[in-house]
Amino acid sequence: MSLIFAHRGYSAQFPENTMIAFQQAKEANADGIELDIQMTKDGELVIIHDEKVDRTTSGSGYVKELSFKEIRTLDAAYKYKGKLHKVQIPALEEFLEWIKPTALTCNIEFKNNLFVYAGMEDKAIELVRRYGLSERVIFSSFNHYSIVNSYRLAPEIETAPLFSDGIYQPWIYAEAIKATGIHPNHRLLNSQIIKASENYGIKVRAYTVNNEKRLQYLLESGISAVITDDPVLAKNVMSRLKNT
């Protein structure tokens, strides 16, 4: 059965990469949560997609040039003014503490393809191990050196390279870098590629699938998971397929 991962939480309706978006993804019965991490000036792992805080918060500047204390003063729901109260950029640790008692799986994306954050993988691994979540976490990144580094440091935690360009037989590549899955842009996929990879033992989790027809096609192809902004839509498509 395919899993539904909520992309940056339930980001179709709530401020992306915030605790409210994660809580609402759980309410929507998502199976997993996808989130992005960056590192502050003082070495704290925080959940935010961009290298800069400008697009998603009330502040400005690079995450790597702000302290954790400064980051926590920003409003990550400022676009929802009048609808939601101020929400803070979550620390990865706060999220892991929240997810621990749930049954949710978690895909942590290292956002280290533009800036190399020294020690990012070590810090994330330490936290995931401390919270006993190694079996429920998948690390992904567009930086495949980081994926290999993560595997070397923690072979018990699953890894999956992200890619936005087509490569030939990506399941062979995944095996070569010791990954257990691939996270391609969904536009690169067809049912033959999905089946070949899944039959080879490499899980396919496609991002970011928000179109109903496309969700149906991928789910019917036997994909391991889809990563979507709208877990309610994806769950509806899935139950319709089950009942037909």
* HEC sequence for 141-183: ECCHHHHHHHHHHCCCCEEEEEECCCCCCHHHHHHHCCCCEEE
Site string for ligand G3P, 97-136 (x = CB under 6 A): ------------x---------------------------
User: Is 85 annotated as catalytic?
Assistant: no
Check binding of 203 to ligand G3P (CB under 6 A): no
Report H helices in the chain.
19-27, 68-71, 92-99, 120-130, 144-153, 170-176, 191-200, 212-220, 231-242
Tell the residue number behind the tokens 């899993």, with chain if given: 3
CB 164 to Ca ion: min, Å: 11
Distance CA 16, CA 39 (A): 17
Out of 162, 189, 225, 232, the residue judged to bind ligand G3P by CB under 6 A: 162
Catalytic residue among 7, 85, 183, 186: 7
Check binding of 36 to Ca ion (CB under 5 A): yes
Out of 34, 44, 75, 229, the residue judged to bind ligand G3P by CB under 6 A: 34
When CB distances are held under 5 to 8 angstroms depending on the partner's kind, the choice from ligand G3P, Ca ion, none that residue 158 binds is none
When CB distances are held under 5 to 8 angstroms depending on the partner's kind, the choice from ligand G3P, Ca ion, none that residue 162 binds is ligand G3P
| Tokens of residue 39, six digits | 């590192």
When CB distances are held under 5 to 8 angstroms depending on the partner's kind, the choice from Ca ion, ligand G3P, none that residue 229 binds is none
User: Is 7 annotated as catalytic?
Assistant: yes
Distance CA 221, CA 64 (A): 41
Site string for ligand G3P, 38-77 (x = CB under 6 A): -----------x----------------------------
Check binding of 183 to ligand G3P (CB under 6 A): yes
> Smallest Cα–Cα separation from 39: which of 107, 108, 110, 106?
110
Residue 101 CB partners (closer than 8 Å, separation 6+): none
Pick between residue 70 and residue 173 the one whose CB is nearest to ligand G3P: 173
Check binding of 140 to ligand G3P (CB under 6 A): yes
Q: What residues does 28 pair with on adjacent strands?
A: none
Question: What part of residues 85-124 is at the interface with Ca ion (CB under 5 A)?
Answer: 109
53, 74 in Cβ contact below 8 A?
Answer: yes
Check binding of 16 to Ca ion (CB under 5 A): no
Q: Point out the residues that are catalytic.
A: 7, 49
Residue ranges in contact with ligand G3P by CB under 6 A = 7, 34, 36, 49, 109, 140, 162, 183, 207-208, 227
